[in-house]
Structure 1
Amino acid sequence: MTKDVIALTPKMPDLRTLLAGLYAGGPDLGVNTLADGAVIQLCAPGGRPLVSVEAPILVQVPGETTRLLGASPGVPDSPVWWTEARASTAVAEGGRLAGSFAGRLATVLGGTVWPPEAASTDVVPLTTDISAVPVPATSAPAVDVLTTRAAVVIQDRPLVTMTSWLSDALRGATADDRALQIVTPPTARLTLPTRTALLGHPNRWVIQDPDHGFYDGLSGAVLHWKGGTFTPILDENGTAFVAEGFTATPDTGERQLIVSLRTRHPVDEDLVLGRALDTAWHTLTGTAPAGWSTAEPVNLPWSTRQLTDLARARAPQPTWLIVIGHPDRPAIATVRITRTPAGVEEDITLTLGYGQDETPPLDSIEPLAEALCAEHGLTTMLTSLRSARRDLTIPPHFEVPPIPVSFTLGCEAVRDIDLDQALRPPLNFSPTQLGPTAQLAVHYPLGDGTDPHAWSTLQQLTQHLKQAATDLA
């Protein structure tokens, strides 16, 4: 297992301050660097990593520190420098070394440490017999167990975020055809970006429950360690058992509005990405997004120009981004930008949280669809509503699936299908035409997000549209 400790300081830790922190283990420990100097490691005399420290980042987005760490005393709001240390608890002194490193930074720079109980400025001498501790099979600081089938990350944080540590572990596991498996206690929750990353097979969120053993935090399947990976235990019919701890939570009246959309743009040197998401954010919240980044914490103020520059620099490789809103309206989006033969595509999932006394703006969906079709190259948009936490975090409990509210087909997709077919699905509702005749899009209302039968309606609709496209081809 590893232990994460974060120093939150008003000033950037300079090299001298970082070195003072790294002296937490005394002069006998060594220092190593990874990722072209972006990670500094405090090492035992034989070179075994004890604590890995990421380069400090300036978090400039309001509310981001409390979103990820909680509104506990001593957690400052932005702007704040975030310096994260990750220690291996395979060595008894590891966690204390990380706490002393962070505590020294906070003391010198006038900051705080999370979690606060980890902070100290004590020298932590290394007394463990390092020769008796197995050397990690990987140099990736986030990975605790590496096999031919899985990269396992053991987290003890209350909220598991898509940190750059975890993002690097995911990229490495994907490149090596391994599963990324995150092991947490049953009290942990995931952020939406972390959940999105784990939805790809065979990645998994593993709950280690002292009363119920191991189970999948998203499906409830009882798991065991077999062949170097966590896999479901199946009955004689090949069906996974469901853990007793994976129970439904009471309906608190909280809701999440989910808008999943895809846009396509011609390749153009003047193209600016992120504008479709900006339009959706303004339409549904009345404000622009607050910040964006490639990992959590989200540290950069919202800028379509900057994210476009990043995507252009990474092309033809895809770019994956996280975008968040202001603290008073929980909202978070993941964006995947890809270059395809048809142009530049944005796959966007925007999720907004609402309390029991708040009404999701369903009446804004159709005007949003029309604006996206007219101005931002919308190809498809699916809107749905679900009973889930307002703060947009994911607990390891059963949650009812979202229920479709509407589906929109952009003008390009309508042309590929034939307008007459698009306007006459074999269903008991009338779609709405959006936009001018030359660029007609079609919007299909499916309900108010309370009737599960809307899934059946959506399935029939998509089958009709696929068949229409096949017939036209």
Structure 2
Amino acid sequence: MTGPAADALTADALVILQDRPVVGFTKWLADGLRFCSETGRGLQIVTGPGSRITVPMRLVLTSPNSHWVVRADGGYYDGLSGVPLVWDGAGFIIDPRARTYAPTYTTPPTEPVGAQLTVTFRVRYTSDTAIGAATEEVCTALTGGPPGGWGTAEPATDVWRRERLSELFWSRGAAATWLTIVGAGATPAVGTLLVSKVGEEVEEAVTIVIGYADPRTVPVATLPSLLGGIAAGRHLISLFTQLGNGRADVTTVPRWLGPSAPIGMAVGGAAAGPPGVPAHRIGDARSPATWYVLGDGRQQEGWQRYEQLTRQLQGGF
């Protein structure tokens, strides 16, 4: 069996060395991930401690047995978690002897640290012409303009036109289509868009990360009104927002920058939240939805409210 060019190919992993300042999810790496998915392997990207990775690259490296492998401290560690890694002959695995994080991971970065707002949502609709509409609305609300480009890998070189997204999706026989998106507004934004067919509906599953040089400019208080339109005329499955420290250019460094914290969550329908979780109506009369206030994106107590809310939602109202 042959796969894409790699620095090491084993029964468990496809290992690729990337000595560059910023590692994006290029077509070459997209081919590598596809090969890994088809053969049950993990994708493992090896860099130095000075490298950064893009949002799409970070998201794909959360797959099973996949790692951002950082060379430092005389060994290796996972750039997303800080856990030391070792080579077992078939791939990089978590070091079973490790009792602490890698020293480089816990060393504060020297560059300025801003804030990154992450918005994750899923919507469904019956009109094929609506593909990309929710993504466009969210991006416009948070960055001041629609996405500037999209692509099946990085860089996202195709000019954003929703009709082109529809053409691609249906030309593939409505098979699940994963895309990268990049903002063109005043505020940096990068994300991923997965379009798939669910029964008679089309589902749009999106993650967008928006970067801010000054954390005080994140529109935490106005998010319900900014994002409320996403539920109008659609079946909103869920929407979740959280805030964390990070570079304003929305790349990720292999350093500990502090924990993220939730801001709010929305789901289709209208119902009160559990005690201590305020709920507000968003959407419209035809497609009501509820926004639940979880926190300000800084307090870790928000995760407790998130757990209470998800338990209630999973158990039904």
The one-letter amino acid paired with 1:313 is: S
| Offset at residue 217 of structure 1 (A) | 1.1
Q: Which SS does the other structure have where 2:119 is aligned? A: strand
The one-letter amino acid paired with 2:29 is: L
Q: Which SS does the other structure have where 1:385 is aligned? A: strand
In structure 1, distance between residues paired with 2:129 and 2:99 = 48
In structure 2, distance between residues paired with 1:223 and 1:289 = 37
2:290 pairs with one of 442, 446, 450: 442
Greater shift in the superposed pair: 243-252 or 363-372: 243-252
Q: Who is 2:46 aligned against?
A: 183
1:197 pairs with one of 60, 66, 86: 60
| Offset at residue 232 of structure 1 (A) | 1.4
2:140 pairs with one of 282, 292, 304: 282
In structure 1, distance between residues paired with 2:61 and 2:121 = 20
In structure 1, distance between residues paired with 2:215 and 2:77 = 34
> Structure 1 residues 310, 240: CA separation in 2 closer, same or farther (over 3 Å shift)?
farther
> Structure 1 residues 433, 310: CA separation in 2 closer, same or farther (over 3 Å shift)?
same
Matched, 1:227 2:85: no
Structural RMSD (CA):
2.1
| Offset at residue 438 of structure 1 (A) | 5.1
Identity value in percent: 34
> Structure 1 residues 289, 358: CA separation in 2 closer, same or farther (over 3 Å shift)?
farther
After TM superposition, list the pairs within 5 Å mapping 1:28-427 onto structure 2. 138=2, 140-141=4-5, 143-209=6-72, 211-235=73-97, 241-249=100-108, 252=112, 254-266=114-126, 268=127, 270-326=128-184, 328-341=186-199, 343-356=201-214, 359-410=217-268, 414=269, 419=270, 422-423=271-272, 425-427=273-275
Matched, 1:433 2:281: yes
Q: Which SS does the other structure have where 2:155 is aligned? A: coil
| Offset at residue 296 of structure 1 (A) | 0.9
The one-letter amino acid paired with 2:260 is: P
| Offset at residue 212 of structure 1 (A) | 3.1
The one-letter amino acid paired with 2:301 is: H
Q: Is the 8 A contact 2:143 2:188 kept in 1?
A: no
1:80-101 deviations in Å (ceiling 9; x for gaps):
xxxxxxxxxxxxxxxxxxxxxx
Is there any run of 5+ residues in structure 1 with no aligned partner, and where?
1-136
Q: Is the 8 A contact 2:144 2:186 kept in 1?
A: no
Provide TM-score, normalisation by structure 1: 0.63
Provide TM-score, normalisation by structure 2: 0.93
Greater helix proportion: 1
> Structure 1 residues 348, 147: CA separation in 2 closer, same or farther (over 3 Å shift)?
same
Relative contact order (alpha carbons < 8 A, sep ≥ 6): 1 or 2 greater?
2
The one-letter amino acid paired with 1:281 is: C
